[in-house]
Amino acid sequence: MVRKIKVKNSGLIKLQVVDDFPDGNLVIGEANKSVPFSIKRVYYINNLYNRKAERGRHAHKRLEQIIFCVNGHFTLTLDDGENKQSILMNDPSYGIRLGPKLWHTMTKFSSDCVILVLANDHFSENDYIRNYQEFLNYVKQ
């Protein structure tokens, strides 16, 4: 897992871990505490058996999200329009902030990968920027 985030509108979120060895781990996030907003939506991505799968490839105008890899691993690539960073997501106790104006792509999934995302708003297609050139123009505004 990465230690330093170099792109804008992102950041590393550390959740509390209760290590109940040998009975597993408990990982805890609380809204407006370790999760820096009120959670309005949760979604998860599983069945990632296709190693060539590619998800994301968009940015948001206003949405705040935190992304976790709760099982397995994948690569998260962040791009703020100036700087890019690829992060190996392999620790369920760390989340990455996906703030507004941040192009993100998810690739190289392990077959047991499960991704959990917490969002501060309901789904709205109007909040998406799905064209990379449009994204670059938007961040330069």
Residue numbers annotated as active site: 58
Q: Exposure pattern of 16-38 as b/e (b: 16+ CB <10 Å)?
A: eeeeeeeeeeebebeeeeebeee
Give the x/- contact pattern for ligand TYD in 75-114, rule: CB under 6 A: ----------------------------------------
Give the x/- contact pattern for ligand TYD in 14-53, rule: CB under 6 A: ---------------------------x-x-x--------
Instruction: Give the binding range for ligand TYD (CB under 6 A) out of 1-9, 55-63, 74-82, 89-97.
Output: 55-63
